Structure 1
Amino acid sequence: MGKVLFVDDHRDTADMLANIALELGHCVSVAYDGASASRMASQEVFDLVFLDISLPDVDGRDVCSQIRCGLSRHARIVAVTGRAEIRTNGELSAFDDWLIKPISMHQIEHLLTAP
């Protein structure tokens, strides 16, 4: 299984998603803000990143760009947002996929088990 990074300022959400990934056998890290996520992704190689785009300290799209320039540049990066309209206006073009909150167990399991 792969290394997964969950980034969300809502700690309960990040921790719940991380627990699902752990149960599926993944090696998991969690960041609760953009600065921590960027730092972690610059020090470790992640295979998959779930990235909230509405972080209090920085726009998640900027974090995505930073990750794309570092050790985890080949990671599959999934945007996580509560703003359904964002998927139609091209703001998620840097991401490989996206999820609209609330996220279902099926959605997260599908992305965690996808090749």
Structure 2
Amino acid sequence: MKRILIVDDSRDTADMLGEIAVVLGHNSTVVYDGASAVSAAAAEAFDLIFLDLWLPDTDGQKVCIEIRKGRSGSAHIVALTGSNELIRSGCEGFDEWILKPLLMDDVERLLA
């Protein structure tokens, strides 16, 4: 069982990922902004983090850098983005990137 943090300002996307994680036997925490993500990752050590790059209060790369400094620093952090350009430019601190809309195969692979 993995401890999973889902960070996305699209509540539908975040809630769906959280539900999928629970159905597959994992613990999930869902937040919708960067400040809540940094706070949650400081309070608990997560194994896997899905992190949207576009958040209402900050950008996901800044959140990723902050998370890497704390309890969840060794988590596998996956950037979620709808832009190929962001993937090509690279993002410091992320382990991998997934394009939106998410494919179930990618989600299941990461949760396995």
Structure 1: 5+ residue stretches without partners? none
Paired with 2:64 and 2:46, the residues of 1 have a C-alpha distance of 13
Runs of 4+ off more than 4 Å: none
Kept after mapping to 1: 8 A contact 2:65/2:92: no
**Distance in 1 between the 2:65 and 2:92 partners?**
11
**Post-superposition offset of 1:93:** 3.5
- Identity fraction in percent: 54
Task: Provide the TM-score with structure 2 as the length reference.
Answer: 0.97
Paired residues for 1:86-105 under 5 Å: 86-90=86-90, 92-105=91-104
Give SS of 2:87's match: helix
Structure 2: give runs of 5+ residues left out of the alignment.
none
Structure 2: distance between partners of 1:93 and 1:4: 20
Structure-1-length-normalised TM-score: 0.95
Q: How many residues align?
A: 112
Q: Which amino acid aligns with 2:101?
A: P
Alpha-carbon distance, 1:94 to partner: 1.6
- Which letter maps to 2:63? V
CA RMSD of aligned residues (A): 0.7
- 1:66 aligns to what? 66
